[in-house]
Structure 1
Amino acid sequence: MPSESDKWGWEHVSVFGGFDRGSGTKRWKCNYCNLRYNGSYSRVRAHLLGFPGVGVKSCPAIDRSLREAFQILEEERLARKKKTSPVDGKSGKRIRTSQSTLTVKNISKEEVDGMIARFFYADGLNVHVINSPYFLEMVKAISAFGRGYELPSIYELSDSFLRKEKEKIEKFMASDRESWPHTGCSMLCVSRLDSTLGYFQISIFVSSSRGLTFLKAVDIDDTDKMENLFTSALTDAILEVGPTNVLQIISHLGHPCKSSESLVLTKFPHIFWSPCTSHSIQMLMEDIAGLEWIKSTVSCAKGIEQLMMYYRHAYPGLFIHNLKENSDPVSAKFAPSYCFIQRIFELKKALQEAVVSEEFKQWKLNMQGDNVTVGSAILRDDFWCKVHLFLQLCEPFVRLLSTFDIDKSPMGIVHDWRVQALEAIKGKGIDSTALNQLEVLIENRWDVLFSPLHAAAYMLNPRYFGRGQSKDKTVMRGWKATLERYESDSSARRTLREQLCSYWRLEGSLGEEDAVEFRDKMEPVAWWENFGFETQQLQTLAIKVLSQVSSVAMCQEIWQDNDFPCRETANRLGLDRVEDLVFVRNNLRIHSRRYGNSTSPSGVKSWDSVHPDQTMSIVNIHDGL
């Protein structure tokens, strides 16, 4: 038992009585706020340090500096306690329990596994955390330390260790910040509604050529003020990153924050507000599914699904296939109509065999008229021809979606995909009427669904040099919009246009032998850094545009199952600590994805060991942690 002299808190309260039986419970009054309580030293400490949940209020008269001084005293007290606590003998309940279990006999791996399982079951933790590289790192570190290790206290975990981890992350992020003036960066915003707590959570990430980092989260429980609160938070984030460093904002927030775009761009007119490419492609594919001749095919396919579900229920052993089954998570998430039609097409033979069986014919006698019509469609060639045509039209879209991963969904690829997709579809001998409908649809929807930065990147990416961009009105429209937003001065825009002509004409360093040879052998940004020095304004624009991503998909994968901050945690830790906890947690998740393929024993590189110039390893967005 620690001596009373080591409990610094007694010096800041006035004790005016105690209870019987020699207990540590006393009557005391705070010297700062004059509130009176009954309780032991744990309540004194909680009152002075601001710990809620132990039956006392946080002292309202203590300012931040004094509280920080108290925290230092508490850390010193805990350090002395830990240093003087014996490893053997009377070393506290936790250590005694651990030693009595592990040192009396040789413990088997099966018993250790059982204890780990019991810990997860008893505390209701997500068992998937066992796949976390940080969990494996922790277990190996404890094993390496050996006998006598004592876990950190709750106070240390929620205060000093949390603060240290945040400092490590911020130090690591400092190297990213140094690159932002050169490459620019994108701010990515995603949201979700927490139905349990009844408020929106909006998270803001920063993406650059160095990788993705989590900046902050905003909890909004007042929908009437949502737009103003989000606009204010995003404005503060832009100022923190540096307005001149931010090239674009990509958001997927839905209707609640729709007007935030105009409010933010009024303050920062040079910044682009770009749609998320993944969701734009999803909307374009749904638009295709809504074309009149395809709409009837999709409707018929849904009727087939419902019919076969009824039949499967009636004869579970005769039709064993699940029409909702899909092994491709990308299609299921971003292309539901394509995914559904593809599954129907895969089961064409099984469906046709089912509807000609005697069991189906007998069962069909009890069906309604619509179901009879739907059933007969399975045997019609025209239905399957339309299904196949729809899949052909959508296949290039799905192929593009599969290229978006944790750190790579770069500008330029999208516009090239648009050109190549139409050419590929033409090569499949698709009906000219259907092809014309697709071209018109893409043309009409492109400016709404895609950022003009895609056009600028398609024009400036050396890999796409000589693709006839100047004759493509969609590309030139996007290039014009890019210049007008990026550069407000007309003479500066003229310079950029002139330097673009130099690029096309292969003038100076841009036409050197190495520059021509390395167009498709070097990364586009590296190519401009090496050969664009005679057209510095265009070089700067090219590097910034080609360094950006175009989708928030990687952020949603990190944020979608985020269970912080919650009200209970907020009440226990306080607002500042919850913000730190969210900051640390999300950046650790990003960090583990960056270095998920590390060859170190733990599988994770520490913040201190990462060299800022190392190339980030790419982990697919659908890989688990």
Structure 2
Amino acid sequence: MRYWKRFEVVVQFRSRFRRGYGAAAFSVRFQLLFGFYLLLCLLKSGTINRLKQHLAGTHKGIKPCPTVPDEVANECKKALLKLQKVKTLQNATLEEMRAVASGNGMGNESGTSPSRPNSHPKARGPIDDYVSAQTSQATLNSKWKKEERKEVCQRIGRFFFSSGIPFNVANDSYYLPMFEGVANYGPSFVPPSMHELRTWILKDEVTNINKMLDGHKKSWKHYGCSIMSDSWTDGRSRCFINFLINSPANTFFLISIDASDSIKSGEMLELHLNKIIDEVREENVVQIITDNGSNFVNAGKRIMETRSHVYWTPCAAHCIDLLLEDIGKLTLHQETLKKAKEAMRFIYGHTWVLDLMRSFTNNHELLRPAVTRFATAYLTLQSIQKQKQALRSMFSSKAWNKSTWAKKHEGVKTRATILFDQNFWPYIAYCVKRVTPLVSVLREVDSEEKSCMGYMYDLMNRAKEKIAINCGSNQIKYGPIWKRIDDRWNNQLHSPLHAAGYYLNPRLRFDERFSNNYEIKQGLFQCMERMLGYEERFKVDVQLDSYGHLRGDFGSQLAMDSKKVRSPTDWWIRFGGSLGLGF
């Protein structure tokens, strides 16, 4: 879940300059989930390309933006890469024209190149690589090519305008390859007709997608898979559910359905999920993952009753965000978050105040983006804590005291909170210490670098231990936090799959901190009982002895050394062959 709804680039032209001559000022701002705008950065002069370089962090002529979200930086990098590809294509065409204009590759009537007597290769120096011998001709060609490109772009634009095609279609990953293919083919290319598009081209593309799907199906059958659902609402308030299938072969987008009339009904959601399970085949499905809405919870539990081999698991990131919300309702946390939110609304809601704040914090932002709403709130508290001295200096400065904001109600209230509220700063430190470990867990489970199933149990245990340490091992202090963690873990988040994943993760199983308690063993055996028949369960139970006692390949030095660098799946593929697992 993003902390912002959308971002936009605001362009302002200065009246004393003409447009197009570096006179534009650019700023990037975000509309946050709670309504007001966050001004990310301001570029007082330059071009939109320079702003993209700034946000992408390329270090090309401008320093990187220290506060840009990763998603925005990645979008800017993609845009710059597309622009570079276009320039490369243009340069290649220009070089070819230069060669033709200078006579290289242009034969005489007999098909041979004209020769000069006593011709010898001209010695080249280092500067020759950068200076063309046909300067005047290249300049003429460049101007002609620029005009020609302008005409072509106008034709492409007319196609977009007449068909009502959204401009962002030009950002599609297949847009540039389409033109590259046409350019490589040459001027004799005949574009496909409507009939070709709706017949053999469409059929071929469907065939290619099905071939890709067949590769994923082999992985589903071999390793099992997880069905993930992602619900979202479009601009017309229609609700859609995307279904994706995750396996060691990566994630495959299967289908998106319009669930506007059924999203609130657990029975209808169960029907949708059952159709997906049947398409993937029940024997290949390990679990289905949904959010924690009551409709999805009811549908998931009913599926577990009717599908004996399938687990329903709530989204871990959503569960932890709800846990942070629970903690945020504690009196001290609620009061602190409220004061911090009011202060941030005032600072980020007024450009002059925001500029003053940045001048005192050396352009360090107070608002900290995170994967969910409540993680953002607590990370912002942490950032405020780090900038305590800067904020106190700001509201004590001459610049602040002389400003009109110092006399307004919002300014007076915010200044009083920062300078004179005796509880504000101690409460921030109190809240940050108790919640930061959970925010770290949220980052881990939301990461796409590795599956969290085999790590979830250990991550939650380590978070609880860290919270206790931060509270000085005083149960009175960490007890309320632990209670809310246990309530969410025991009643919602925890699944036997987490226990099985913990036990079968070699990185954790053979660590000195491994907890081989009854809860872990019970969860492992529950998974085996649900997913395997008796004969298979008996065989696996015996084979687990070899794993637990490091017999065969499991005990090799290579196995022990690689357990920390390989994923659990890759480790089992490599060393599980000694059990005849058939990977």
Q: Same fold (TM over 0.5)?
A: yes
Deviation at residue 460 of structure 1 after TM alignment? 0.7
Question: How far apart, CA to CA, are the structure 2 residues paired with 1:125 and 1:227?
Answer: 37
Residue matched to 1:417: 459
Deviation at residue 298 of structure 1 after TM alignment? 1.1
Indicate conservation of the 8 Å contact 1:187/1:205, yes or no: yes
- Quickly say closer, same or farther: Cα 1:111–1:330, change in 2 above 3 A: farther
Residue matched to 1:376: 417
Residue matched to 2:429: 388
> Deviation per CA, 1:239-265, whole angstroms, max 9, x where unpaired?
221111100001137344442213322
Q: How does 1:126-165 map to 2 (within 5 A)?
A: 126-165=166-205
Q: How does 1:18-97 map to 2 (within 5 A)?
A: none
> Deviation per CA, 1:595-621, whole angstroms, max 9, x where unpaired?
xxxxxxxxxxxxxxxxxxxxxxxxxxx
> Deviation per CA, 1:549-600, whole angstroms, max 9, x where unpaired?
xxxxxxxxxxxxxxxxxxxxxxxxxxxxxxxxxxxxxxxxxxxxxxxxxxxx
The answer on 1:466 being equivalent to 2:471 is no
One-letter amino acid of the counterpart of residue 214, structure 2: A
Deviation at residue 141 of structure 1 after TM alignment? 0.5
Q: How does 1:284-295 map to 2 (within 5 A)?
A: 284-295=323-334
Indicate conservation of the 8 Å contact 2:304/2:310, yes or no: yes
> Deviation per CA, 1:316-364, whole angstroms, max 9, x where unpaired?
8755789997786534557232244245335534432343356559866
Question: How far apart, CA to CA, are the structure 2 residues paired with 1:293 and 1:473?
Answer: 36
Give the structure-2-normalised TM-score.
0.63
One-letter amino acid of the counterpart of residue 348, structure 1: K
> Deviation per CA, 1:109-148, whole angstroms, max 9, x where unpaired?
4444455456556655444443333111111001112214
Q: How does 1:269-308 map to 2 (within 5 A)?
A: 269-308=308-347
Residue matched to 1:511: 555
Q: Which has the higher contact order (CA 8 A, sep 6+)?
A: 1
Indicate conservation of the 8 Å contact 2:244/2:251, yes or no: yes
Among candidates 448, 455, 470, match of residue 499 of structure 2: 455
Output the aligned Cα RMSD. Answer: 3.8
Question: How far apart, CA to CA, are the structure 2 residues paired with 1:206 and 1:350?
Answer: 48
The answer on 1:398 being equivalent to 2:439 is yes
> Deviation per CA, 1:147-200, whole angstroms, max 9, x where unpaired?
14333234433444222211101112212211222210011111123451x542
Question: How far apart, CA to CA, are the structure 2 residues paired with 1:378 and 1:472?
Answer: 50
Question: How far apart, CA to CA, are the structure 2 residues paired with 1:380 and 1:431?
Answer: 28
- Quickly say closer, same or farther: Cα 1:275–1:256, change in 2 above 3 A: closer
Question: How far apart, CA to CA, are the structure 2 residues paired with 1:147 and 1:224?
Answer: 52
The answer on 1:177 being equivalent to 2:177 is no
Deviation at residue 417 of structure 1 after TM alignment? 1.9
The answer on 1:437 being equivalent to 2:476 is no
Q: Secondary structure at the match of 2:370?
A: helix
Question: How far apart, CA to CA, are the structure 1 residues paired with 2:324 and 2:428?
Answer: 14
- Quickly say closer, same or farther: Cα 1:194–1:363, change in 2 above 3 A: closer
- Quickly say closer, same or farther: Cα 1:133–1:493, change in 2 above 3 A: same
One-letter amino acid of the counterpart of residue 391, structure 1: V
Question: How far apart, CA to CA, are the structure 2 residues paired with 1:523 and 1:315?
Answer: 48
Q: Secondary structure at the match of 1:133?
A: coil
Q: How many residues align?
A: 431
One-letter amino acid of the counterpart of residue 167, structure 1: T
One-letter amino acid of the counterpart of residue 230, structure 2: V
Provide structure 1 residue ranges, at least 5 long, that are not aligned to the other structure: 1-104, 544-625
Question: How far apart, CA to CA, are the structure 1 residues paired with 2:366 and 2:533?
Answer: 49
Indicate conservation of the 8 Å contact 2:262/2:269, yes or no: no
Q: How does 1:588-603 map to 2 (within 5 A)?
A: none
Question: How far apart, CA to CA, are the structure 2 residues paired with 1:247 and 1:317?
Answer: 52
- Quickly say closer, same or farther: Cα 1:271–1:200, change in 2 above 3 A: same
Deviation at residue 277 of structure 1 after TM alignment? 1.6
Q: Secondary structure at the match of 2:439?
A: helix
- Quickly say closer, same or farther: Cα 1:172–1:148, change in 2 above 3 A: same
- Quickly say closer, same or farther: Cα 1:339–1:258, change in 2 above 3 A: same
Residue matched to 1:189: 229
- Quickly say closer, same or farther: Cα 1:386–1:535, change in 2 above 3 A: farther
Indicate conservation of the 8 Å contact 2:471/2:478, yes or no: no
One-letter amino acid of the counterpart of residue 437, structure 1: P
- Quickly say closer, same or farther: Cα 1:264–1:429, change in 2 above 3 A: closer
Q: Secondary structure at the match of 1:190?
A: strand
Question: How far apart, CA to CA, are the structure 1 residues paired with 2:292 and 2:355?
Answer: 45
Q: How does 1:188-267 map to 2 (within 5 A)?
A: 188-194=228-234, 196=236, 198-223=237-262, 226-252=265-291, 254-267=293-306
- Quickly say closer, same or farther: Cα 1:451–1:111, change in 2 above 3 A: farther
Question: How far apart, CA to CA, are the structure 1 residues paired with 2:292 and 2:456?
Answer: 22
Question: How far apart, CA to CA, are the structure 2 residues paired with 1:217 and 1:307?
Answer: 41
Q: Secondary structure at the match of 1:330?
A: coil
- Quickly say closer, same or farther: Cα 1:380–1:237, change in 2 above 3 A: same
The percentage of aligned residue pairs carrying the same residue is 28
Question: How far apart, CA to CA, are the structure 2 residues paired with 1:224 and 1:413?
Answer: 31
Q: Secondary structure at the match of 2:288?
A: strand
Question: How far apart, CA to CA, are the structure 1 residues paired with 2:435 and 2:502?
Answer: 22
Deviation at residue 427 of structure 1 after TM alignment? 5.4
> Deviation per CA, 1:412-469, whole angstroms, max 9, x where unpaired?
1222322333444455565624333333332232131243312211111111123454
Indicate conservation of the 8 Å contact 2:221/2:284, yes or no: yes
Question: How far apart, CA to CA, are the structure 2 residues paired with 1:250 and 1:497?
Answer: 27
Indicate conservation of the 8 Å contact 1:251/1:276, yes or no: yes
Question: How far apart, CA to CA, are the structure 2 residues paired with 1:320 and 1:268?
Answer: 57
Question: How far apart, CA to CA, are the structure 1 residues paired with 2:205 and 2:449?
Answer: 23
Indicate conservation of the 8 Å contact 2:547/2:554, yes or no: yes
Q: Secondary structure at the match of 1:108?
A: helix
Among candidates 172, 194, 208, match of residue 168 of structure 1: 208
Residue matched to 1:500: 544
Indicate conservation of the 8 Å contact 1:341/1:387, yes or no: yes
Give the structure-1-normalised TM-score.
0.59
Residue matched to 2:570: 526
> Deviation per CA, 1:93-114, whole angstroms, max 9, x where unpaired?
xxxxxxxxxxxx8643444445
Provide structure 2 residue ranges, at least 5 long, that are not aligned to the other structure: 1-143
Question: How far apart, CA to CA, are the structure 1 residues paired with 2:473 and 2:315?
Answer: 31
Question: How far apart, CA to CA, are the structure 2 residues paired with 1:299 and 1:340?
Answer: 12
Q: Secondary structure at the match of 1:356?
A: coil
- Quickly say closer, same or farther: Cα 1:503–1:192, change in 2 above 3 A: same
Question: How far apart, CA to CA, are the structure 2 residues paired with 1:299 and 1:346?
Answer: 18
One-letter amino acid of the counterpart of residue 182, structure 1: H
One-letter amino acid of the counterpart of residue 157, structure 1: L
The answer on 1:336 being equivalent to 2:380 is no
